[in-house]
Amino acid sequence: MQPFIVIRNYREDDELKCQELVRDYIMSFSLKSFFTLCFREITLQFIVITWAVFFIFLGVPLLFCVLTIPGCVFFLFTSTYFSFYAKAVELMRVKPSQSLVAECYEPFIFRCAPNEASYQIFMDRPPYDENYLNKFRRRIVATVSVKNHHAVYNAAWIYRFAIAKQYPHQKIMEPMINLVSKNCINGGYASLECTISEWQESERDFYDDLGFVTRQIYHKQIIGSTLTVMKTQLTYNLKIDGALQKQN
């Protein structure tokens, strides 16, 4: 049996599965972020200051102060992990207003790796009867939601974007974003906005291929101005896309 994926509208009974998917997707970047922060200047400053506090104020022998290095690294790891977890919980609590999900249908005995399998993509509903569909296990592998952008006039904002890492990113998310763009055009929006972080290289390439362009690059403060994360706001002009649809 050939596995396939159905892109459909979000339903209320999808919420728990979408929350789990969003959590796993966000947490998958925590390790990459940790390694990035390890080579920041603030990490070395934090180790030196901690070393100085133990040696000067607490009287710890200089040799034992070396143990502060793994301690600082462990503190950095836990701080990074829980900051990502807090962000995941924040998005999990947001109830989507307009959302799509990609539901994967796979045979119960499926030995091929998801990123190596060939999936058919169907919109809204598969062309099979219920008896045939009962022979597959179902799993939500991607979700995307949009809402009004608070800072940009007449713009929609992509949020709760998540996909299971082992599934083909481009093949699943491209028709989902195209459908989101179409719905936004019908809703009268002029542009579609999204924000990505510096460690989301594959997402950046994906949006570039779809025609998104950079609106602004800024640094979001985590701990004052000493620890920041580079963010990129991307925009997609829906007016051009809508004009092309009318011509066709």
pTM of the model: 0.83
What's the confidence (pLDDT) of residue 212? 93
Domain boundaries, the chain: 4-237
pLDDT in tens, 219-240: 877 665 556 778 899 999 987 6
pLDDT in tens, 7-64: 999 988 888 899 999 999 999 888 888 888 888 887 888 888 888 888 888 888 877 7
Query: Fold for domain 4-237?
Result: Aminopeptidase (3.40.630)
Report yes or no: 20 and 28 within 8 Å, Cβ to Cβ: no
